[in-house]
């Protein structure tokens, strides 16, 4: 286990992990055990659709983690107005649950073809309103959509902050999110030397703006990534599966870019995560 503050065991927070994903169905307990052995003591599990609302809460309570409730932009095309109602009902029902830390994963995705922009916008804005009513921060999906997400935050008058997950926008957009009280999530993409823009942002933005995440089972770090050629050579194997135990290794890339020790990286990013998601503070105190 990596060393943390003053020689103590590290306490890493994975601010975005889809622990409920089918990729973990065969060995979820082992995945959790490896994460804990690596020092990842807290994981935020975001829902992606109305069907996963109960499951993410169940997993958070089962393993002592935290969760977020919302509908992901890649799933809104198959969602209904009734699903928004289910999110609203779940937020109301569990409003006093200390493990409910945010509304998410919500946002906009203008990279994947075939997604209706108006439908995405409607679900995004309505869920921002739900978060505002609940007094909770949000976990934002940001893919070629930073300006539109920022416009929505301003239009709704959203002031509870949160995390811009897997941030990959410009420095100007990054600073606009920061000005609105958001932290920026950095994960596996950070470990690729060719990710020049993301690595530059991670190195130069204010240290108070950075949090760590895996987005497991997605966005594998460089050492797990499989090229198209490798996938062709091993048909059926797919992309390398990411998992929360990789977080301290991803943190090493951030530490190198910032000139921090690993202990400093743990302390700074964990404090930032708790600032972004205030209910994490009580969980970390346990």
Alpha-carbon span 104 to 48, nearest angstrom: 7
Alpha-carbon span 6 to 275, nearest angstrom: 22
**Other Cβ atoms closer than 10 A to 32:** 22
Please give the pLDDT value at position 242.
97
Q: What's the confidence (pLDDT) of residue 240?
A: 86
pTM score above 0.85: yes
Q: What pLDDT is stored for residue 204 in this prediction?
A: 98
Write the DSSP symbol of residue 95: T
Domains along the sequence of the chain with CATH: 10-285 (3.20.20.140)
pLDDT in the model for residue 105: 98
Render each residue's pLDDT in the chain as its tens digit; 286 residues: 444 444 455 689 999 999 999 999 999 999 999 999 999 999 999 999 999 999 999 999 999 999 999 999 999 999 999 999 999 999 999 999 999 999 999 999 999 999 999 999 999 999 999 999 999 999 999 999 999 999 999 999 999 999 999 999 999 999 999 999 999 999 999 999 999 999 999 999 999 999 999 999 999 999 998 655 554 545 444 568 999 999 999 999 999 999 999 999 999 999 999 999 999 998 877 7
Closest among 269, 284, 285, 241 to 31, alpha carbons compared? 241
pLDDT at 246: 98
CA distance 79 to 74: 10
Separation CA 184–CA 161 (nearest Å): 11
- Residue 285: the pLDDT is 72
pLDDT at res. 1: 40
Determine the pLDDT at residue 231. Answer: 44
């Amino acid at each position: 286990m990596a060393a943390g503050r003053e020689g103590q065991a590290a306490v890493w927070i994975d601010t975005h992990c889809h622990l409920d994903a089918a990729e973990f169905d065969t060995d979820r307990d082992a995945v959790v055990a490896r994460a804990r052995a690596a020092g990842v003591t807290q994981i935020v599990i975001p829902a992606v659709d109305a069907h996963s609302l109960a499951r993410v809460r169940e997993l958070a309570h089962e393993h002592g983690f935290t969760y977020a409730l919302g509908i992901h932009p890649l799933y809104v095309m198959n969602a209904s107005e009734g699903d928004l109602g289910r999110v609203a009902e779940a937020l109301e029902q569990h409003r006093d649950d200390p493990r409910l830390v945010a509304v998410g994963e919500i946002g906009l995705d203008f990279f994947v073809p075939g997604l209706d922009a108006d439908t995405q916008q409607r679900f995004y804005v309505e869920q921002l309103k739900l978060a505002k009513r609940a007094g909770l921060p949000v976990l934002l999906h940001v893919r070629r959509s930073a300006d539109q997400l920022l416009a929505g935050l301003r239009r709704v008058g959203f002031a509870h902050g949160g995390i811009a997950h897997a941030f990959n926008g410009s420095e100007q957009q990054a600073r606009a999110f920061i000005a609105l009280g958001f932290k920026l999530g950095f994960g596996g993409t950070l470990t690729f030397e060719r990710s020049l823009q993301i690595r530059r942002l991670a190195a130069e933005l204010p240290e108070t703006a950075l949090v760590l995440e895996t987005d497991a089972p997605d966005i594998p770090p460089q050492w797990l990534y499989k090229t198209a050629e490798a996938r062709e050579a091993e048909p059926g194997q797919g992309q390398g599966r990411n998992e929360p135990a990789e977080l301290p290794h991803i943190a090493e890339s951030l530490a190198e870019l910032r000139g921090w020790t690993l202990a400093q990286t743990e302390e700074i990013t964990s404090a930032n995560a708790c600032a972004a998601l205030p209910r994490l503070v009580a969980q970390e105190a346990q």
